[in-house]
Structure 1
């Protein structure tokens, strides 16, 4: 891949109103809006604004997603809730001292059954009104905020075993992850640029999807290389797995259409 990326060719976008409708139809934003409307007096959230575990199943059912022990519905609901919070569709309320689950001076010792974590509440945020009363630019602004959340997740490190990266202070030791956030963000930006080029170029696949190995190779294989070496082919394979994880995150926000890698392979 050349160090200097070529200038991306222009594209004629649809009218803003059409783009806004497409943004609201993106599954992730649509779920976030639905959960914002669902939030109410009985909604309970943790210190970081996340739904408490006990309510993830309720949220999944609200979205029409399966919520069984082996289903991904609660995880999808958690992602949509975080987008709702980060885009201002939901406003998180801090725990009240006299609320159920709030710290109690008479509670049992730490770690006992009586020592419950403080929980807060959540209500619809001010930005929820933009969905129906805002301009197309307002709606697209919400979508861009949701995209920022997803891009940050896509560039985040994959932690297989959390215990391996917890430092002595109890916090995550990011140095142990060998993770460069700027490099990860640049890699993802390059992937999306190459995907665009492969899609719109005359030699590209036109309306056909770009094969994942081709996209991965565009990020790894030097332009002047003839026959790829075994080491380069291994790097392409690793890039494919990395892109598979990232595109699974990007697809629900509507940035890409993606057919995941068959996990049975």
Structure 2
């Protein structure tokens, strides 16, 4: 599918990989809805896009775990730009808690539940609501009606110490990629998941330079942290390549995470 002229939703678009994905899609001619639990961040990124590209973006606060919040955001996007053809599910949270802590206590169940709720259930929630709208649209070339790109992590495959919750949530996204693509094939909607490795997000950028260098040294090639622009480039390539469907793509420079 050609990106130019279509409407895209980017969850988690207020910062990091999501923000760069929103900018990249806008640069290729899409009208972009930037959704984030941080409404100020979403509006800031949308404002930056508008400053560069004209009236091509809208920033909205959205809780991806809440059905009513997502439905309200979708209604606002449709009213402003029209029907959505592209969904970039980038929103997510991290967690690092050993199942048994150094104090001998079990990890809090609430933490595990929250990560699953946001990363896995939130991704599914947005996907199902957007897919229902896409399925009602007129097909484009090759019978396409829409493209959904979800975000997992290499932690889905190489989870480190303390990453039970995060790995489980991202592993769930990996596992539902193929059945979701098969479910939506009849509607001409493709589903692909990106599993990024170590990227230079705002959170990582706050780490000491020595820590950043150590992380980069663990990546075979290129031996540096991934650039958000590279994530955005892959997301755009997925949209434009009709043959990509039901696949999980690692974007990690051949990284395989060590236990810790």
Do Structure 1 and Structure 2 share a fold, with TM-score over 0.5?
A: no
TM-score by length of structure 1 reads 0.24
Asked which structure has the greater CA Rg, the reply is: 1
